[in-house]
């Protein structure tokens, strides 16, 4: 039974269980998020991170049997270690990815295992301390209740509040600070039991000071790491609920990166976007209603607006931060010619898959400009289920065009996209263009009627002319078609195929 005198201690320790559980889950989620940004394939990364973390917690729980005396002192020390290692984990991994990328994976799993082991030690020690004052049946139920509540609170707050408003580095340091605060609380609760009170107090103060300094300087840490990683100076960065957006500026102008992957470079983006848009738009003849799925930077919209027949462009972009950035940030808005401010443009910030399921609109041309299928959440936008929805919203004489990765470096992946589009009954016309920042890049033009070369292009293009358009559809032997499997929602073969091919292509 809990006595009146010991009840405040028991309540304080149970509250610490809530904080401990919340902090532990934050470190796990931060490691999984960073691993998916850097290594791709979010399902694989989160699965392996969670598995490694849980195994490490089991190791920690097993090791707790060897802590027999001075349990409050051991608990305090472990809290401080978790605060330092777990709180600094995102910052350490950011820096490692920028300065020693080859060591990133080893460091990632090493830190996950260390933090998991320390967290695995925490709860058994708390339970053994509480056992002095709480009956066993109440002890187990209360500790587990607070543990699960802490995990629930963080699992909701992490993607919706913490990462969008604080970023990964500050989120980690904030929860490290909370772990250190638990240690400080334990220092006060057990002040009469601790043999080296002064040393413990100094350790708490130093840990809190280190974490607070890191929190204040988090932007500087992130900027240093990103400047090193991207080689050019980062002029804008934002962690949104969907991705990390970084814009750099250097000798060759602006570059846009999403989760560390280059999306465009100012000095040659016109080659990519002219190749993406004009073979479909010019071949149609007189497109009036056009949709752009993805492409929140507005570059594709800029090219579409060069056609006087266009009456409305619907831009469907999941992340409102992207469209806001390329509408309101003057240097970036200048790159798309203020396209996102055109009265002809309607911006819809939602998931493109869901939007196609709900909208009734029919379009003359649909431009599909998603990032490459580096994970399953993006991979669903390359499945036959998605292309079947796309077909429903395409006019009988309309065309769709899909950016489809490199037919040279990811040949099997490119032709998998072609085979998947054809599986829903659309006719395809694959083509490619050379973009120096990317190399050979592929596109697939699709429709219910065969594609015919256009007879006219808009004025002022920097890359394409009529002869050049026809040349895009010629594939040399090393990019020619190969047998490919259909990418289905229930079995996204494309994601693993893409990761394998691009992994081999990296130096």
Q: Which secondary-structure segment (H or E) carries 245?
A: strand 244-250
Residues whose CB is less than 8 angstroms from the CB of residue 162 and which lie 6 or more positions away in sequence, other chains included: 26, 154, 171, 174
How many helices (H) and strands (E) would you count in the chain? 18, 11
Residues 268, 199: Cα–Cα separation, whole Å: 60
What is the residue-wise DSSP string for 74-122?
HHHHHHHHHHHHHHHHHHHHHHHHHH-GGGHHHHHHHHHHHHHHHHHHH
How far out from the chain centre does Cα 171 lie?
16
Q: Which two tokens stand for residue 63?
A: 């090791």
Selected catalytic residue, list 232, 319, 364, 369: 369
Residues 172, 29: Cα–Cα separation, whole Å: 10
CA torsion 262→264→268→272, rounded to 10°? 110
Residues 32, 376: Cα–Cα separation, whole Å: 15
Given a contact cutoff of 8 angstroms between Cβ atoms, the answer to whether 163 and 169 are in contact is: no
Q: What number of other Cβ atoms are within 10 A of residue 462's Cβ?
A: 8
Our answer to whether residue 138 is catalytic in this structure is no
* DSSP reduced 3-state for 404: coil
What is the DSSP code (8-state) at residue 484?
-
* DSSP reduced 3-state for 323: helix
Residues 165, 279: Cα–Cα separation, whole Å: 41
Residues 115, 97: Cα–Cα separation, whole Å: 19
Strand 439-447 versus strand 427-435 pairing type:
antiparallel
What is the residue-wise DSSP string for 328-385?
HSHHHHHHTTTGGG-TTEEEE-S-HHHHHHH----EEEEEEEPPP--SHHHHGGGSHH
Residues 437, 424: Cα–Cα separation, whole Å: 32
Given a contact cutoff of 8 angstroms between Cβ atoms, the answer to whether 269 and 299 are in contact is: yes
Given a contact cutoff of 8 angstroms between Cβ atoms, the answer to whether 79 and 183 are in contact is: yes
Half-sphere exposure of 310 (CA within 13 A, CB side): 24
Q: Which two tokens stand for residue 444?
A: 């697939």
> Starting at the edge strand that comes first in sequence, how are the strands of the sheet with 233-239 ordered?
233-239, 244-250, 253-258, 261-265
- Residues with a known catalytic role: 369
């Amino acid at each position: 039974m809990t006595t009146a005198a010991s009840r405040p201690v028991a309540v304080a320790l149970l509250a610490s269980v809530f904080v401990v559980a919340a902090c532990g889950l934050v470190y796990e989620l931060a490691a999984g998020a960073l691993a998916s940004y850097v290594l791709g394939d979010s399902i694989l990364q989160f699965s392996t991170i969670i598995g490694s973390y849980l195994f490490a917690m089991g190791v920690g729980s097993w090791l707790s049997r060897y802590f027999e005396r001075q349990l409050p002192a051991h608990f305090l020390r472990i809290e401080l270690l978790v605060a330092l290692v777990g709180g600094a984990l995102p910052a350490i991994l950011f820096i490692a990815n920028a300065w020693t990328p080859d060591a990133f994976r080893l460091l990632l799993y090493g830190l996950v295992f260390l933090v998991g082991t320390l967290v695995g030690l925490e709860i058994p020690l708390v339970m053994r301390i509480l056992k002095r004052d709480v009956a066993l049946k109440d002890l187990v139920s209360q500790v587990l209740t607070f543990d699960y509540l802490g995990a629930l609170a963080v699992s909701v707050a992490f993607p919706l509040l913490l990462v969008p408003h604080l970023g990964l580095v500050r989120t980690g340091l904030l929860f490290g600070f909370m772990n250190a605060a638990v240690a400080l609380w334990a220092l006060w609760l057990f002040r009469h039991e601790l043999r080296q009170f002064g040393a413990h107090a100094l350790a708490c103060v130093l840990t809190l000071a280190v974490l607070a300094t890191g929190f204040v300087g988090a932007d500087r840490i992130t900027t240093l790491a990103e400047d090193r990683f991207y080689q050019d100076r980062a002029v804008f960065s934002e962690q949104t609920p969907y991705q990390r957006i970084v814009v750099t500026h250097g000798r060759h102008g602006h570059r846009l990166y999403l989760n560390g992957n280059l999306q465009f470079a100012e000095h040659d983006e016109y080659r990519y976007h002219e190749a993406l848009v004009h073979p479909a738009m010019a071949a149609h003849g007189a497109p009036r209603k056009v949709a752009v799925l993805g492409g929140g930077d507005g570059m594709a919209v800029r090219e579409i607006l060069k056609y006087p027949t266009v009456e409305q462009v619907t831009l469907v972009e999941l992340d409102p931060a992207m469209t806001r950035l390329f509408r309101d940030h003057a240097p970036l808005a200048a790159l798309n010619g203020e396209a996102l401010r055109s009265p002809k443009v309607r911006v819809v910030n939602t998931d493109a898959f869901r939007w196609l399921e709900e909208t009734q609109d029919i379009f003359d041309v649909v431009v599909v400009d998603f990032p490459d299928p580096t994970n399953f959440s993006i991979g669903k936008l390359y499945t036959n289920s998605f292309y079947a929805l796309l077909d429903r919203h395409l006019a009988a004489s309309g065309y769709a065009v899909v950016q489809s990765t490199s037919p040279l470096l990811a040949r099997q992946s490119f032709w998998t996209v072609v085979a998947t589009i054809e599986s829903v009954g659309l006719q395809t016309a694959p083509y490619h263009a050379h973009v120096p920042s990317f190399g050979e890049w592929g596109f697939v033009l699709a429709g219910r009627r065969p594609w015919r070369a256009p007879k006219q292009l808009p004025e002022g293009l920097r890359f394409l002319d009529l002869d050049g358009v026809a040349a895009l559809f010629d594939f040399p032997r090393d990019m020619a078609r190969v047998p490919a499997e259909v990418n289905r929602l229930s079995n996204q073969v494309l994601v693993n195929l893409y990761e394998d091919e691009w992994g081999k292509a990296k130096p």
